[in-house]
Structure 1
């Protein structure tokens, strides 16, 4: 009977130690998942991680991420969606358009969403006939400029460059 109690005690201690080790590994070994955006057009879906991601005070930032690429054409718009972690607060889309024959970039009107919307449509050709060359999605925070004035600054940015297919 004494041997059974000793064996049971050893099993319980080992199980508890394994659980503590696993929980410690989970907490320390994994960085918090960063939200992604998705862009979709003519059958192609691309998931995009942040190019820039900082805390709300802009004091701690992740290393820079990557600019994603999406093949587009002038017949179909880009469908953009954001995760709920992004849409809980204000977020903005800034499309960039250019005349590909004589490139000079023109930023389209920034669209700011405050209504928990998770999707938006971005035309691949603007009203002037310029083609979409990129999309930036940003989450703002309030910062202070060099004059002590409060300004909106991006604390997180996702970036997509378009590749035109004829």
Structure 2
């Protein structure tokens, strides 16, 4: 059991290091330009920069452009979400928010696995999709040594229903 935990810990540390290197390379290659996500549904599209973007190794060093997008949707056509390679090369998560925020779903994506996601606008159990958020994660440790993930960057899109 201890060996499994040690291996898991090493994998997490390597993922964080890879994320840090990726963010550093992205910043070096693009200067101050921050990555954007895009979403499309039934002839409407939106491209949005981050709501908040912090340095991966210093969550107190943040840019807060507070960008947020709106996308017109209907119940018959899904949302096609696209993230750039700058996001997909790191571990990221997608939050889907429904009419009752308690029904928010979270999906995690491993590095270099996913550039696009299809999201139904209507869930039979949760109702209408009201928004989505994409988050890049940083592993942090509290005073007791417990590790958990916090977002260091977030993009936000609200849906607009007819």
* TM-score w.r.t. length of structure 1: 0.73
Q: Per the alignment, in what secondary structure is the counterpart of residue 132 of structure 2? A: strand
- Number of residues paired by the alignment? 131
Deviations 1:112-139 (A, max 9, x none): 1115210001110112150000101101
Residue in structure 2 matched with residue 42 of structure 1 by the alignment: 42
Q: Does 1:53 align with 2:50?
A: no
* Greater strand share, structure number: 2
- The structure with the larger Rg is 1
Q: Indicate whether 1:119 and 2:119 are aligned.
A: no
* Superposed displacement of residue 63, structure 1: 2.3
Tell me if the contact between 1:87 and 1:118 (Cα under 8 Å) persists in the aligned partners.
Answer: yes
Looking at structure 1, the residues matched to 81 and 65 of structure 2 have their Cα atoms a distance apart, in angstroms, of: 22
**Structure 1 residue 145 displacement after superposition:** 3.2
**What do the CA deviations read for 1:119-162 (whole angstroms, capped 9, x no partner)?**
00111011215000010110100113354422100000001111
2:83 match:
82
Task: After TM superposition, list the pairs within 5 Å mapping 1:1-166 onto structure 2.
Answer: 32-57=32-57, 58-98=59-99, 104-116=100-112, 117-128=114-125, 130-145=127-142, 147-165=144-162
Indicate how the Cα distance of structure 1 residues 115 and 55 shifts in structure 2: closer, same or farther if over 3 A, else same.
closer
* Regions of 4+ moved over 4 Å: none
Tell me, which stretches of 5 or more residues in structure 1 are unaligned? 1-29, 99-103
Residue matched to 1:8:
none
Structure 2 vs 1, CA of residues 129 and 142 (structure 1 numbering), >3 Å: closer, same or farther?
A: closer
Compared CA separation, residues 63 and 129, structure 1 to 2 (3 A): closer
Q: What secondary structure sits across from 2:86 in the alignment?
A: helix
After superposition, the C-alpha distances for 1:8-54 in whole angstroms (9 at most, x for unaligned) are xxxxxxxxxxxxxxxxxxxxxx9521111000000111001000100
User: What SS does the aligned partner of 2:124 have?
Assistant: coil
**C-alpha contact 1:142 1:152 (8 A) present in aligned 2:** yes
